Amino acid sequence: MSFIFVLWLYWVGIMASPPLQSRPTPCDVFGQIYVEKDPYLATFRVFVEKNNEFNAHVVVFEETNPLFADKPGFWYFTNKRGFANYSIAYVQDRNVADFVVYFTDRELYAGCNRR
């Protein structure tokens, strides 16, 4: 009898636990972005590629209006952490970055580089 009770408690515990949340990919990062100074507080650590957009995971266009930052690669930088969809921290070492970005001044080139 006790074995069945323990088995029932185990099953109830599994069914009551919330599903696992998957971490967003670099292509999911768009919208309002807050820049953290401490990389441990940020959602993502980002390395900025300065020379070649083909080495980047995301080509970013900096929007001037948060309403237009609605697709991958379109970021609006906010000074208010509470309004941000994601927070990033710039890192100097590519090996510790979660992903690599390249900033463009042309809206047409912004987006996710699929590999």
Half-sphere CA count of 45, side-chain side, radius 13 A: 12
Q: Is the pLDDT of residue 17 over 70?
A: no
Instruction: Tell me the mean pLDDT in the region 48-61.
Output: 93
The Cβ of residue 88 has, within 10 Å, a number of other Cβ atoms equal to 23
Average per-residue pLDDT for the chain: 86
pTM value > 0.85: no
**Contact between 112 and 72 (Cβ < 8 Å):** yes
pLDDT tens, position by position, 91-102: 999 999 999 999
Closest by Cα among 30, 22, 38, 27 to 77: 30
* pLDDT value for 8: 58
